[in-house]
């Protein structure tokens, strides 16, 4: 599903957090949002997902979601948001419980997404038995279960250690290679942005505005952080936001 953010502006009281944001989110592409701390990335994601309404402008769907989509827009959160008393399969099933599916249809979907996320052998495990990376795989499986038209990913790997983050990026690339999806991916990590993003939007320090959009044409499976082209893209991102990132860091330190 192709989404367009058009002239979106939002304030909290006297504080303007987003100013005249216009962005395209094409079908089958991953848009990454990067920028200094406090620039409004997560606020923008919530507005794309309809959890908050902007003061001006909005988000327009330029086409219909696929007929198979149970939830057109689905979130993946930083903190996994799993129910500790439910098994892996039970947490995935939670996303399907309010849909008109037969038990057989539900079981088929759960088996499929557990297989796609390499969780079949852990279907009966509970979250306390899982590593952080495995918990995030469960969250990804739960999102995939509703066949979203657009996945909204709010720093999904930021709570993980570097090695696990690399493995999960590989998993996301593998999922995309098998079944391309549309996503908006918020991150502070520029390595994640250049590894996963087809289009990277750099937001300015508050109020958040689109400073620049960087396109990366290299297919996801062919990307390596040692590739000079990707290293150059990462450097371009950092140069575009370095000064404002330092100012935002000092502002947080003063606070």
Task: List the chain domain ranges.
Answer: 3-65+149-249, 82-147
pLDDT level of residue 54 (50, 70, 90 thresholds)? very high
pLDDT value at position 249? 62
Spatial separation of the C-alpha atoms in residues 56 and 158, rounded to whole Å: 31
Q: Which CATH architecture has domain 3-65+149-249?
A: 3-Layer(aba) Sandwich (3.40)
The answer to whether residue 198 scores a pLDDT higher than 90 is yes
CA distances from 8 to 24, 39, 75, 142, 200 (A): 12, 14, 20, 30, 18
What pTM does this model have? Answer: 0.90
Residue reference for tokens 């495990």: 125
pLDDT of 200 > 50? The answer is: yes
Q: What is the mean pLDDT of residues 198-204?
A: 94
* Arithmetic mean of pLDDT, 183-204: 94
| pLDDT above 80 (res 94) | yes
Is residue 156 predicted with pLDDT exceeding 80?
A: yes
């Amino acid at each position: 599903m192709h989404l367009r953010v058009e002239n979106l502006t939002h304030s909290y009281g006297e504080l303007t957090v987003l100013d005249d944001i216009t962005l395209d989110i094409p079908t089958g592409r991953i848009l990454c949002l990067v920028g200094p701390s406090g620039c409004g990335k997560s606020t923008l994601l919530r507005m794309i997902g309809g959890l908050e309404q902007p003061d001006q402008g909005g988000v327009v769907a330029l086409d219909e979601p696929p007929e198979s989509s149970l939830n057109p827009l689905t979130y993946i959160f930083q903190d996994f948001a799993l129910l500790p008393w439910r098994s892996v399969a039970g947490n995935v099933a939670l996303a399907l419980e309010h849909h008109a599916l037969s038990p057989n249809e539900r079981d088929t979907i759960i088996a499929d997404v557990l297989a796609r996320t390499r969780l079949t052998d852990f279907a009966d495990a509970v979250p306390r038995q899982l590593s952080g990376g495995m918990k995030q795989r469960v969250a990804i499986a739960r999102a995939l279960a509703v066949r979203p038209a657009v996945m909204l990913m709010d720093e999904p790997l930021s709570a993980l250690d570097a090695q696990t983050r690399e493995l999960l990026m590989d998993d996301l690339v593998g999922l995309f290679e098998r079944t391309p999806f549309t996503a908006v991916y918020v991150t502070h990590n520029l390595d994640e942005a250049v590894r996963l993003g087809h289009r990277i939007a750099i937001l300015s320090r508050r109020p958040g505005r689109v400073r620049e959009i960087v396109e990366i044409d290299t297919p996801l499976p062919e990307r390596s952080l040692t590739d000079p082209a990707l290293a150059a893209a990462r450097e371009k991102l950092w140069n575009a936001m370095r000064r404002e990132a330092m100012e935002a860091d000092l502002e947080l330190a003063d606070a």
